[in-house]
Structure 1
Amino acid sequence: MTTSSIQTGDRAPAFSLPASAGRTVDTASLSGKPYLLYFYPKADTPGCTTQACGIQEALPALGKLDLTVIGVSPDAVAKIDRFAGKFGLTFPLASDEDHQLAEAYGTWVEKSMYGKTYMGMERSSFLVDGDGIVRNIWRKVKPADHAALVAEAARNLTAED
């Protein structure tokens, strides 16, 4: 396992991943546009549902800021599609089953529960500007607070341009 520790000001790693609704998300199509990559542990769990629904509710405001939102989890596309359909999530949810993107961002980490350690996704988000530079990082984000933090940072990002 190789983990990276992406810092604010670093160039965002390139990616191409399968996503919900038959989409593919990749850095090539995002060129010149700001985007949010948010990593979440598992589709259709309470925290991940709170986080995703909060983002969905904030999409109109984020869209006005010209911000593309992409959720990333280690789940298979079929599971992600069920999750998106169940909660009416219209933004792309990407499948990173081999954890390659998570490892590039340093979000595939050792976790522990009930005394057992295992590898899993750290709930983290990265705001990337139109030049592909990481501008904001939130690690171990609280699901209920996520959308408000992102909206504020995105407003600041567009004010700088």
Structure 2
Amino acid sequence: MSWEGQQAPDFRLPDQDGNEHSLADYRGQTVLLYVYPRDNTPGCTVEAQQFRDRLEELQAHGVQVLGVSRDTVKSHRKFADKESLNFPILADPEHEVLKAYNLLKEKTMFGKPALGVNRESFLIDEQGVIRRHYAKVKPEAHVDEILQDLEATASS
């Protein structure tokens, strides 16, 4: 499915502090919704560190970063503390966002089928429309890719 040009599905989820966030809360702002498989795993940690370290650059483009995984609020709190995260990471243990954005995929783990989470991101504009869908995310290069897109959009 091509998400670009589609209205982003709304949601309401708690962050690492238990504060509720909905996409509607951010109308009038650009949101980078990034979905990752699991707290404290190598790729997910690198990706979160990249967003943490380059948050000011993203904010200079008016972007609010929201991370989402199926981990719990408690797990997110530990992850956020350990990595000094400076943006909300939303707990989706009931898979509300994962299902709405079609990010739960059948994968094979240790030779057995299991539901896994795709690492994908969505750049959502001020009206809640998905402007860019990043389906193939490389954690160490993702923020560069987003910033290049933002700069290209700003200069056009």
Question: What's the counterpart of residue 81 of structure 1?
Answer: 77
Provide the C-alpha distance between the structure 2 equivalents of 1:83 and 1:17, rounded to a whole number of angstroms.
17
- Aligned residue for 2:9, secondary structure, equals coil
Quick check: 1:6–1:106 contact (8 Å CA) kept in 2?
no
Number of aligned residues: 156
Give CA-to-partner distance per residue, 1:51-100, whole Å, 9 cap, x none. 00011111010011110000000000000010000010010000111111
**Which runs of 5 or more structure 2 residues have no equivalent in the other structure?**
none
Distance 1:7 1:63, change over 3 A: same
Question: What's the counterpart of residue 144 of structure 1?
Answer: 140
Distance 1:69 1:128, change over 3 A: same
For 2:106, give the aligned amino acid. E
Give CA-to-partner distance per residue, 1:102-138, whole Å, 9 cap, x none. 1111111111123221002100000001111101111
Question: What's the counterpart of residue 119 of structure 1?
Answer: 115
Provide the C-alpha distance between the structure 2 equivalents of 1:159 and 1:98, rounded to a whole number of angstroms.
40
Q: Which has the larger share of helix?
A: 1
TM-score normalised by L of structure 2:
0.94
- Aligned residue for 1:75, secondary structure, equals coil
- The match for 1:95 among 81, 84, 91 is 91
Question: What's the counterpart of residue 46 of structure 2?
Answer: 50
Provide the C-alpha distance between the structure 2 equivalents of 1:44 and 1:149, rounded to a whole number of angstroms.
23
> How far did residue 155 of structure 1 move?
2.7
Provide the C-alpha distance between the structure 2 equivalents of 1:29 and 1:159, rounded to a whole number of angstroms.
28
Question: Percent of counterpart pairs with the same letter?
Answer: 36
TM-score normalised by L of structure 1:
0.91
Distance 1:92 1:157, change over 3 A: farther
Provide the C-alpha distance between the structure 1 equivalents of 2:44 and 2:35, rounded to a whole number of angstroms.
10
Hey, which bits of structure 1, 4+ residues long, moved more than 3 A? 156-160
Task: Note the 1:19-30 alignment, pairs <5 A.
Answer: 19-30=15-26
Distance 1:98 1:141, change over 3 A: same
For 2:47, give the aligned amino acid. Q
Provide the C-alpha distance between the structure 2 equivalents of 1:35 and 1:156, rounded to a whole number of angstroms.
17
Task: Say yes or no: does 1:32 pair with 2:8.
Answer: no
> How far did residue 158 of structure 1 move?
4.2
**Which runs of 5 or more structure 1 residues have no equivalent in the other structure?**
none
